[in-house]
Amino acid sequence: MARSRPPSRARNEDETPPVDWLAELAPELQLLILEAVDDFSDCAAVSLATPRLGLLAFGHDLARFKDPLFAVAMQQQLAQRTRSKGEQQTPVTEAILRKYSADRRARQEHFPWLERVSPALCLSTGIRGLGSRRFEFWRLQRGDEPGALLRERSLQRGTIWHFTGEAGAERQVRTEYATGEVQLFEGEKGAERLVRTDFLD
């Protein structure tokens, strides 16, 4: 008769880390379990607790472990682990949000997750313009206050403009065209100049 495993107990920091029980399963079953992890925070927690599983998921191109938001979750989880005892939950930093917004794979469908894990600083989106001149914009969102503009996208042409700088002083730094062409800019707001153009091979 199978012997039941004794209930788990809290362990001290000096104790041996828990056994990787999933290692006893076939790789196919491990991947099925990892595919069922449907929250980016949980994906990050699994990867930090058992790096082997994170590498397995990444190596088999599991979507959530390849998404740029996974990197955001990893940085947030690491920050939480290093915060002082009693300190409030560490929000996602502005630098992390700017980096995520600059990734062409970033999607606004993930904004609710960002708002949940970092309500004090997240991303917001909206639409401006009419007809063929309608643009989707992304901004930093500080609580109820809209922050700096990060990017705009033409809904008709698919062109994306990326910006940096504080609210009211945003300057254009990159333009991405639907053809794959990318233009890089330098200079202050209103005086940006094109410094490089990259073409899709």
Cα–Cα distance measured from residue 172 to residue 185, given in angstroms and rounded to the nearest whole number: 7
Reported as a pLDDT band with limits 50, 70 and 90, residue 75 is confident
Alpha-carbon separation of residue 114 from 38, 93, 169, 185 (angstroms): 15, 11, 25, 29
Query: Higher confidence at residue 153 or residue 118?
Result: 153
Examine the pLDDT at 142 and tell me if it is beyond 80. yes
Residue 2: band (very low, low, confident or very high) from pLDDT cuts 50, 70, 90: very low
The pLDDT tens digits for 89-100 are: 556 889 999 999
Q: Is residue 12 part of a domain?
A: no
Does residue 165 form part of some domain? yes
Tell me the C-alpha to C-alpha distance, in Å, between residue 93 and each of 73, 118, 196. Answer: 11, 9, 29
Look at residue 11 and tell me if it is in a domain: no
Give a yes or no: residue 102 inside a domain. no
What total number of domains does the chain contain?
2
- Asked if residue 164 is part of any domain, the answer here is yes
CA-based nearest residue to 163, from 176, 142, 148: 148
Q: Is 176 inside any structural domain? A: yes
From residue 47, give the alpha-carbon distance in Å to each of 30, 42, 84, 130, 151: 13, 9, 22, 45, 31
In the prediction, which pLDDT does 8 show? Answer: 44
Task: Determine the average pLDDT of the residues in 72-89.
Answer: 73
Q: What is the mean pLDDT of residues 152-164?
A: 95
Give the total residue count for the chain.
201
Classify residue 186: in a domain, yes or no: yes
The C-alpha R_g of the chain, in whole angstroms, comes to 21
Residues 6+ positions from 114 with CB-CB distance below 8 Å: 69, 72, 92, 97, 122, 123
For residue 183, what pLDDT is reported?
Answer: 96
Contact 73, 40 (CB under 8 A): yes
Residue 44 belongs to a domain? yes
What's the domain range around 157?
120-198
